[in-house]
Amino acid sequence: MGRAKSWLTLASTSPQRRAILEQLRIPFKAVAPTYVEHDPPNLEPAELVRVHAEGKTRSVHQDGQVTLGVDTTVAHDGRVYGKPDDAEDARRMLDDLSGQTHSVVSGLCLVGPNIDVVAHEVTRVTFRSLTDETVTTYIESGEWKGRAGAYAIQGLGGRLVERIEGDYLNVVGLPGSLLVALLELHAPNLLEKP
């Protein structure tokens, strides 16, 4: 198979995931995955994100590369909260999560020469009890668009959060601690100083 290239292929167009890799100084190239997400019934959130992460990874992987795919969702009380369809759907999600602790679950798949790993990370996030005014202000910001659970913790959505338990970067969209641990084990050359 030969030696892996000296950068990570990210199977994602997410600006948040790109920013996290830049922050961690992991060299990468982003490629849009061709995998089409579908949510089979009766899958637990951890299994669902692992399936999607693996599908994204394998849709772009080429021999000689180290390829990363990630999928993130929000789960609470037996329900999965994906990306809201519209402002009304976002409001419903935020109302459901208000004053509650939910899980942010990310699946991560890493494939390359002698590497074939699928794992997941869970971070617990507790929202403050949100007033109607707080929810309305957040909905009007538009930041909820395209966000699992209808919020972005790294932006204005940080106002909604009381506390987190676990990896903050996971809530942003990529479980950084898990990724670094896997790269240390399987592709340490990607963690060398730039």
Q: Where are the alpha helices (DSSP H) in the chain?
A: 15-23, 45-60, 87-97, 132-141, 168-172, 176-186
User: Domains (ranges, CATH) in the chain?
Assistant: 8-191 (3.90.950.10)
Instruction: Using pLDDT thresholds of 50, 70 and 90, give the confidence band for residue 6.
Output: confident
With beta carbons less than 8 A apart as the criterion, state whether 125 and 101 touch.
yes
**Quick one: which of 84, 100, 103 has its CA closest to 92?**
84
With beta carbons less than 8 A apart as the criterion, state whether 75 and 105 touch.
yes
Report the C-alpha gap between 143 and 26 in whole angstroms.
27
Give the list of residues 6+ apart from residue 22 with CB closer than 8 angstroms, or none. Answer: none
Rounded to an integer, what is the distance from CA 8 to the centroid of its chain?
A: 17
22-31 residues labelled b (16+ CB within 10 A) or e (exposed): eebebebebb
Our answer to whether residue 89 is catalytic in this structure is no
What are the pLDDT digits (tens) for 37-76?
Answer: 887 778 899 999 999 999 999 999 999 999 999 999 999 9
Report the C-alpha gap between 122 and 107 in whole angstroms.
9
Tokens of 168: 């903050």
pLDDT at 2 > cutoff 60: no
Looking at every residue in the chain, the average pLDDT score rounds to: 94
Residue with tokens 């909260």: 81
161 φ/ψ angles, rounded to the nearest 5 degrees: -95, 135
- Burial of residue 140, with CB atoms counted within 10 A of its CB: 0-12 exposed, 13-18 middle, 19 or more buried: exposed
* Whether the predicted model's global pTM rises above the 0.85 cut: yes
Residue of 71, 89, 95, 116 with catalytic role = 71
pLDDT at 88 > cutoff 90: yes
